[in-house]
Copies of this chain bind each other. A is one copy, B any other.
């Protein structure tokens, strides 16, 4: 796929992937893809990452059901980061929040401010 040839994967074969809610604009999470999971994401329209900690393919929502459907994909000027506008089922965070960025700076502390995934 010609698209992927323009992506600059790092020395570990990974590219940064940001998932942003296509409707609200909320940044939901940031993770990584390798060539294979990026190709799968572009072909299937469902976000598939590569887990650095587990060193394996990681289809978002495969066990939780909280899948991410791709609406739009963007590449940055350097070609080493991707932005996906997605429709999130449930929430993005495994800790029960809509966004993984659920803690906000308040002075010298990170305060939990994010919305939880509705039951």
Q: Which residues of A contact B (CB under 8 A)?
A: 1-3, 6, 16, 18, 20, 24-27, 29-30, 42, 72-78, 81, 83, 93-95, 97, 100-105, 108-110
Contacts and interface: CB of A to CB of B under 8 A. Distances in A.
Given A3-B108, A29-B76, 17 more contacts: A1-B108, A2-B108, A3-B105, A24-B25, A25-B25, A30-B76, A42-B105, A74-B101, A74-B102, A74-B104, A75-B103, A76-B101, A77-B94, A77-B95, A77-B97, A77-B100, A77-B102
A110 B6 contact: yes
Contacts of A26: 25
A104 B102 CA distance: 28
Query: Could you say how many copies of this chain the assembly holds?
Result: 2
A30 B78 CA distance: 10
A70 B75 CA distance: 24
Closest 4 CB pairs of A and B: A25-B25, A74-B101, A73-B105, A76-B100
